[in-house]
């Protein structure tokens, strides 16, 4: 892994007129999320999760709106969203498939599974298929080392993974557009 300095000072934020953090989301977060946390920073991660659930990913404009809503520095939102792999800071496909590449999964054959998917989907990790259907990710430990190798398909973790299992899971994923 290499470190890249973020050009935050000169970063261009693409803006759309309609806010991502609309009144309905603000009302829901105020009612359901904020009361569970001692301060606004504490609510940041669940707010980002919910926003990503609604938008599909986290555009810079949306992060700035979250900062505004929570009354915290935009840089704190950006740092959090870019630190954790579970947040998507770029658009992703209809289905996100993440193969764990940490030590236990690596020892249990993650590479063969990842290579199979690279060939099957014709993309590299952190790319999306041309039809927008699948995004492939290589993830760090999913917390299920005793049942390695593991993957995440959208929000579901699958353990003791084999290539055959993964093929079956992927081939049976519903198309959200149909």
Which positions lie near ligand FES, rule CB under 6 A?
Answer: 100, 102-105, 141-145, 148, 150
Q: How many CA atoms lie within 13 A of 28 on its CB side?
A: 11
* Residues in Cβ contact with 169 at an 8 Å cutoff, skipping those fewer than 6 apart: 153, 158
Q: How far is the CB of 109 from ligand FES (least distance, A)?
A: 11
Using left for φ > 0, alpha for ψ between -120 and 50, and beta otherwise, residue 48 falls in alpha
Q: How far is the CB of 106 from ligand FES (least distance, A)?
A: 7
* Residues in Cβ contact with 156 at an 8 Å cutoff, skipping those fewer than 6 apart: none
Q: How far is the CB of 150 from ligand FES (least distance, A)?
A: 5
CB nearer to ligand FES: give 44 or 148.
148
CA distance 22 to 5: 31
User: Helix, strand or coil for residue 114?
Assistant: helix
Q: How many CA atoms lie within 13 A of 113 on its CB side?
A: 30
Q: How far is the CB of 156 from ligand FES (least distance, A)?
A: 14
CB nearer to ligand FES: give 67 or 100.
100
End-to-end CA distance of the chain: 39
Q: How far is the CB of 137 from ligand FES (least distance, A)?
A: 13
If we measure between CA atoms, which residue out of 71, 92, 81, 74 comes closest to residue 29? 71
CB nearer to ligand FES: give 32 or 140.
140
CB nearer to ligand FES: give 13 or 103.
103
CB nearer to ligand FES: give 72 or 144.
144
């Amino acid at each position: 892994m290499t470190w890249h300095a973020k050009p935050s000072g000169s970063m261009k934020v693409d803006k759309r007129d309609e806010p991502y953090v609309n009144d309905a989301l603000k009302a829901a977060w105020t009612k359901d999320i904020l009361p569970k946390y001692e301060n606004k920073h504490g609510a940041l991660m669940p707010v980002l999760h919910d926003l990503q659930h609604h938008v599909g990913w986290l555009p810079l404009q949306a992060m700035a709106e979250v900062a505004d809503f929570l009354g915290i520095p935009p840089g704190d939102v950006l740092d959090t969203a870019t630190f954790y792999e579970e947040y998507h800071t770029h658009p992703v496909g209809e289905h996100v498939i993440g193969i764990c590449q940490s030590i236990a999964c690596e020892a249990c054959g993650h590479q063969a599974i990842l290579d199979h998917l690279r060939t099957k989907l014709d993309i590299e990790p952190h790319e999306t298929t041309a039809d927008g259907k699948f995004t492939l990710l290589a993830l760090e430990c999913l917390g299920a080392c005793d049942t390695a190798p593991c993957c995440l398909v959208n929000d579901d973790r699958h353990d003791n993974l084999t290539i055959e299992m993964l093929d079956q899971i992927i081939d049976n994923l519903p198309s959200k557009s149909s």
